[in-house]
Amino acid sequence: MAKGIEKSNETYDKSYYETAISNNEFGSCYKCGYSQTDDDWCQRCSSDLFKLCEWTSGNLIIDKFIEKAQSKARNHGEVIEWIPYKRLRNIKYLTQGGFSTIYKAIWLDGYIIRLDHNKQKWVRKLEKVDCLDYINGKNNIDLPLEEGEKYGLHVILKSLNNSSNINEDFLNEVSN
């Protein structure tokens, strides 16, 4: 921990990560010139691109929560995205718990790794889909893979019971 940082006449400890950012250890963004907040990640430029994305969960509270998380994301691991149901394939029930139902699926887009500044679009983590995913997709699975869909990412999904009553306090609790 770095000690003795002054802010508003108060002394506080900085985490290793915050110290690395303030010391410009991740370098400067070649597009905007500000310090990157991780390897290949500029919080400022990424936040700007997130603002251009058009999506909605259909719930204003959830939308605001995701938008706030996206604007604060200092690296790809802190990014939260809304995944439209139509971007999932081979959705299969796994188990039922006390508060949720668990499924597995293939997410066609994959998660964000970094921003391609030249193309102004996200670079995403994708894997080649196994041919067994096509075969298994035909057996009691919602939205089986189509022949042209050759890349995706295996994900686990949680469907919360009574999720129509989600409020900001619930989302803040989940995020901590």
Q: Compute the distance between CA of residue 148 and CA of residue 21 in angstroms, rounded to an integer.
A: 42
Chain segment 46-100, per-residue pLDDT in tens: 999 999 888 998 889 989 999 999 999 999 999 999 999 999 999 988 998 777 8
Radius of gyration of the chain (CA): 20
Burial of 174 (0-12, 13-18, 19+ CB in 10 A): exposed
Residue-averaged pLDDT of the chain: 83
DSSP strand E in the chain: where?
2-7, 10-14, 88-96, 100-107, 112-116, 121-124, 127-128, 151-160
Q: Which residue has the tokens 């995944």?
A: 83
Q: What pLDDT does residue 41 have?
A: 96
In sequence order, the 6+-apart residues with CB closer than 8 A to the CB of 90 are: 104, 105, 106, 133, 136, 137, 141, 143, 144, 145
Tokens at 21, concatenated: 């950012």
Q: Over 50: is that where the pLDDT of 6 sits?
A: no
pLDDT score for 97: 79
> Are the CB atoms for 78 and 88 separated by under 8 Å?
no
Distance CA(112)–CA(20), nearest Å, equals 22
Classify residue 140 by its DSSP letter.
Answer: S
Query: pLDDT (tens digit, 9 = 90+) per residue, 128-156?
Result: 887 666 665 556 667 777 777 888 998 98
> Residue 119 and residue 45: Cα distance in Å, rounded?
13
Banded pLDDT at 8 (limits 50, 70, 90)? very low
Which is nearest to 29 in space by CA: 13, 52, 14, 49? 49
